[in-house]
Amino acid sequence: MKNANVAEVLKKNAMLIVLVLVYIYFTARTGGQMFQPLNFNALITQNAYVYILATGMLVCMLTGGNIDLSCGSFVCFMGAVGGIMMVVKGWNPIVSILLMLVVGIVYGCLLGFLIAYVNVPPWIATLAGYLAFRGWGTKLLSANSTTGSIAPLPDSFLNTFSGKVFSTGVGKMNIPCLVAGIVACVIVFVASIMSRANKVKKGYEADSLLTVLARSVIASAAIMLFAYKLGLAGGIPTALIWVVVIVLIYSFVTSKTIMGRYFYTIGGNAEATRLSGIDTKMIMFVAYLNMAVLTVITSYVVMARFQSANSTAGTNYEMDAIAACVVGGVSAYGGSGKVLGMVIGATLIGVINLGMSLTGVDANWQKVVKGIVLLAAVVFDIVASKKNATR
Amino acid sequence: MKGIKLTDVLKKYTMVIALILVLIFFYITTGGKILYAQNINNLISQNAYVFVLAAGMLLCILTGGNIDLACGSVVCFAGGLGAVMLDRDMNVWFAVIAMLVCGTIIGIWQGFWIAYFKVPPFIATLSGMYAFRGLSNVLLQGYTVGIRNTTFLNVFGGGADCYIPDFMGSANFNTTCMVIGIGIAAIYVIVVLRNRISAKANGYEVEALPSVIVKSVIICAVVIWLFYKLANYKGIPTSLIWIALVLLVYSYITTKTTMGRYLYAVGGNEKATVLSGIDSRKVYFFAYINMGLMAGLGGILTVARATQAQPTFGQGYEMDAIAACFIGGASAYGGEGNIFGVIIGAVLMGVINQGMSIMGTDANYQKVVKGLVLLFAIIFDVMSNKKKK
């Protein structure tokens, strides 16, 4: 009994364990460099785009393993549009941000319309965007600058999407960061205990109190470790706030709202969902509209991080986002997957990215490794779910 | 009655008409340059890869709208491998076989996961798209590797002498080429007549004689005109032979062989196909191995044409191939499409590529145009299928 339990726990948290192992591997390979405060900061700021895009991709994939290949190119295109508005035309950053959002919504509506109402297979519709937006974005950038990149972006824009909150010098402990960590830990404890109490009250099956406490302690330890390291690195990265807000919102939407349930049911069985009177086309439309909006937010974060709009921005981002979802246990056929799993997947991808660049792995081999990780994750997912099905 | 027939004809040949319109458009915007003998020759040589890859892609698409996103990277990798081998003065035919084998092995690798593990094709091949692009860079170490081996270049359509030599005739007009063109037209007419006679003898329904004659006359005229133009430049480019060979073989496979029928059957209704005792996994496996082989051949033609291999080669080729198939009427949901359509689609993509480069359109806008063409082709396909149902 006890043994079966351990095996079960291991299986359920396979990717978390892989994440820890990969992390330890890279820490050892880099002689502890990976564990430095600055690299904690880098892990977040360099990979903020993965979390945000993967959140949108998750929603698309839930509806039946559908993906968006155009998001990387669209990040580049939106960067060009934003750069022209803010730098070349000198428009107010807030107006520009809103206008960029409008452009994203227009593209999202168009894409959603084609996929949901015209029945164009998603990968073809987005493959067209993948090519067209890379070309268009590059063209806009080269037409508006001699170097192919537009800078400098206004400070107010940069401060909203990059940099640190309550920044202090590196090496000194940043108090707001530590406080935020403690608050997050308290929230984790209260939320998990309340959720358990609620389940028990309603007579649902609930995990034992011990498990819940153990899980909360582990989660809090991870949060505090991050808070401590980030505190030493000078404060909470602004990008982290965006990531946390988006992840929390989507975690809520996918698990607690009706719309969220619809995404899962369509992916589980589209025909049955449609026959039970749910507007499946509307749901597909929303999934792709949502993807485009999150892509625009990604483009803000990416522009702010590079402090410019340039034509290589967003290259292969679609790959990272898809890989984060698939590694995080989102089914390649739709219908299952959680935001928390995606976060673990995205972190794993981030750790691999960072670890490879710290160990000086050639960019070309990085591509190879990423391709293999993606394939391995899908195969793992398929083999695991096959076993579940036969049992 | 007559009116209905006309709209039917228009519908059936929409893409042929689109092709003619696009040709006219570029004829006007380039001031007639697109129909210069030299440009027609270039159109074939430069777009040989589209025909070859599209033939492979067609088989994948037939099995249910599945695609291979990796083929552009595989073209680069296989081509790069050959270039490196030739650079080290290895035997030409050994290098050629190595490239084809390399493509086939990659096809086996991807096909294995897709067919036997049910990994969604777009994910399996997306992974390959990145991995082989990275490997190509590693293989070529980021540099351009030139190809000097003239045998290789001549046979696969690169360099200055990649034309079938003229055995007879004058300096400015390649008579051999013209003779071959007329020969092909004659063979076409004979085959059409024989098929018609044998169909009639077996009691099958046959098309009305006038429409057969009109069709044959048009096709013969196009063939003869094409070879006349080629003869006016340097003759038949060797890449045309490879294109013709691939198209003939695939036309045969898709229409006359059991495997060909299986491809359509799996794409039409996979469950029914499996229940009638066909191993659909083998069909997928076949389609992707075959795609790998074609990517290998595409790699050969690409590096031969460029007389070098670069780590950036093959980018967006998957797009050209997919677009050629869809323009040619292959269904995005599988089970429909044929080689004739692929030819039309590939020629259309070729004309667009060629027309835009003659016009000096910026490479970035070319990407935008191609993306839009793909999108319109697929919307057209989906809409017209909806109406049928």
To the nearest whole percent, how much of chain A has pLDDT over 90?
A: 34
Min Cα separation A136/chain B (Å): 6
Helix (H) or strand (E) holding A78: helix A71-83
CA distance A246 to A137: 26
Q: What is the pLDDT of residue A269?
A: 86
Please tell me if residue B241 touches chain A, with a CB cutoff of 8 Å: no
Q: What is the pLDDT of residue A198?
A: 86
Name residues whose C-beta falls within 8 Å of residue B10's C-beta, 6 or more positions apart in sequence. Answer: B17
Q: Do B332 and A135 touch (CB under 8 A)?
A: no
Name residues whose C-beta falls within 8 Å of residue A236's C-beta, 6 or more positions apart in sequence. Answer: A164, A165, A166, A174, A176, A177, A180, A230
Rounded alpha-carbon distances, angstroms, from residue B161 to B52, B89, B173: 22, 21, 16
Contact between B380 and A147 (Cβ < 8 Å): no
DSSP state of A33: G
Q: Do A364 and B124 touch (CB under 8 A)?
A: no
Residue ranges per domain, chain A? 31-167+235-384
Please tell me if residue A372 touches chain B, with a CB cutoff of 8 Å: yes
Q: What is the pLDDT of residue A391?
A: 43
ipTM of the complex: 0.82
Min Cα separation B67/chain A (Å): 10
3-state secondary structure of A370: helix
**One-letter identity of residue A306:** F
Report, as an integer, the average pLDDT of B301-306: 93
Q: Do B375 and A383 touch (CB under 8 A)?
A: no
The band of A331, judged by pLDDT with boundaries at 50, 70 and 90, is confident
- Please state at what angle helix B317-327 crosses helix B48-62, rounded to 10 degrees: 70
Q: Which of A370, A371, A382 sits opposite B119 (nearest CB)?
A: A382
Angle formed at CA B247 by CA A131 and CA B201, multiple of 5 degrees: 135
CA distance B44 to B39: 9
Residue of A185, A204, A91, A76 whose CA lies nearest to A131: A76
CA distance B47 to B41: 10
The band of B56, judged by pLDDT with boundaries at 50, 70 and 90, is very high
Helix/strand/coil percent split, chain A, to 5: 75, 0, 20
DSSP state of A153: P
Q: Which residue has the tokens 């998957």?
A: B318
Chosen from A368, A372, A373, A383 to mutate, greatest number of chain B CBs within 10 A: A368
- Indicate the range of B103-112, B171-180, B208-217, B356-365 predicted with least confidence: B171-180
Contact between A310 and A146 (Cβ < 8 Å): no
How do residues B89-101 score in pLDDT, each as one tens digit? 999 999 999 999 9
Report, as an integer, the average pLDDT of A327-336: 85
What is the DSSP pairing of strand A309-310 with strand A149-150? antiparallel
Rounded alpha-carbon distances, angstroms, from residue A76 to A82, A159, A185, A290: 10, 20, 37, 18
Q: What is the pLDDT of residue B5?
A: 66
The band of B116, judged by pLDDT with boundaries at 50, 70 and 90, is very high
Please write down the HEC assignment for all residues of chain B.
Answer: CHHHHHHHHHHHCHHHHHHHHHHHHHHHHCCCHHHCHHHHHHHHHHCHHHHHHHHHHHHHHHCCCCCCCCHHHHHHHHHHHHHHHHHCCCCHHHHHHHHHHHHHHHHHHHHHHHHHCCCCHHHHHHHHHHHHHHHHHHHHCCCCEECCCHHHHHHCCCCCCCECCCCCCCCCCCHHHHHHHHHHHHHHHHHHHHHHHHHHHCCCCCCCHHHHHHHHHHHHHHHHHHHHHHHHCCCCEHHHHHHHHHHHHHHHHHHHCHHHHHHHHHHHCHHHHHHCCCCHHHHHHHHHHHHHHHHHHHHHHHHHHHCEECCCCCCCHHHHHHHHHHHCCCCCCCCCCCHHHHHHHHHHHHHHHHHHHHHCCCHHHHHHHHHHHHHHHHHHHHHHHHHHC
The band of B169, judged by pLDDT with boundaries at 50, 70 and 90, is low
3-state secondary structure of A50: helix
Helix (H) or strand (E) holding A124: helix A122-144
Residue ranges per domain, chain B? 17-25+34-160+241-383, 163-236
Residues in chain B with CB shorter than 8 Å from the CB of A383 are 117
Q: What is the pLDDT of residue B1?
A: 42
| Token couple for A210 | 């011990």
CA distance B285 to A390: 24
How do residues B176-220 score in pLDDT, each as one tens digit? 888 888 999 999 999 888 888 888 888 887 778 888 888 889 989
The band of A326, judged by pLDDT with boundaries at 50, 70 and 90, is confident
Q: Do B134 and A128 touch (CB under 8 A)?
A: no
CA distance B141 to A54: 32
Interface subset of B 115-134, CB within 8 angstroms of A: 117-120, 122-124, 126-134
pLDDT, mean over chain A: 87
pLDDT value at A12 more than 80: no
Residues in chain B with CB shorter than 8 Å from the CB of A122 are none
pLDDT value at A372 more than 60: yes
Q: Do B332 and A367 touch (CB under 8 A)?
A: no
How do residues B71-87 score in pLDDT, each as one tens digit? 999 999 999 999 999 99
Interface subset of A 154-213, CB within 8 angstroms of B: none
Q: What is the pLDDT of residue A243?
A: 94
**One-letter identity of residue A211:** T
Q: What is the pTM of this model?
A: 0.85
Q: What is the pLDDT of residue B387?
A: 64
CA distance B379 to B14: 14
The band of A361, judged by pLDDT with boundaries at 50, 70 and 90, is confident
pLDDT value at B388 more than 80: no
Q: Do B113 and A124 touch (CB under 8 A)?
A: no
Count of CB pairs separated by less than 8 Å, A with B: 138
Helix (H) or strand (E) holding A262: helix A258-268
Contact between A344 and A51 (Cβ < 8 Å): no
The band of B137, judged by pLDDT with boundaries at 50, 70 and 90, is very high
CA distance B343 to B345: 5
How do residues A149-163 score in pLDDT, each as one tens digit? 888 888 889 888 888
Q: What is the pLDDT of residue A172?
A: 76
pLDDT, mean over chain B: 88
Which CATH number does A31-167+235-384 carry? 1.10.3470
Rounded alpha-carbon distances, angstroms, from residue A222 to A44, B51, B234, B341: 14, 55, 71, 58
Q: Which residue has the tokens 């993306």?
A: B371
Could you give the dihedral angle defined by the CA atoms of residues A376, A378, A381 and A387, in that order, rounded to the nearest 10 degrees?
A: -80
Report, as an integer, the average pLDDT of B274-281: 91
How do residues B14-23 score in pLDDT, each as one tens digit? 888 888 999 9
| Token couple for B344 | 């039309």
- CATH topology for B17-25+34-160+241-383 is ABC transporter involved in vitamin B12 uptake, BtuC (1.10.3470)
Report, as an integer, the average pLDDT of A84-97: 92
Q: What is the pLDDT of residue A5?
A: 67
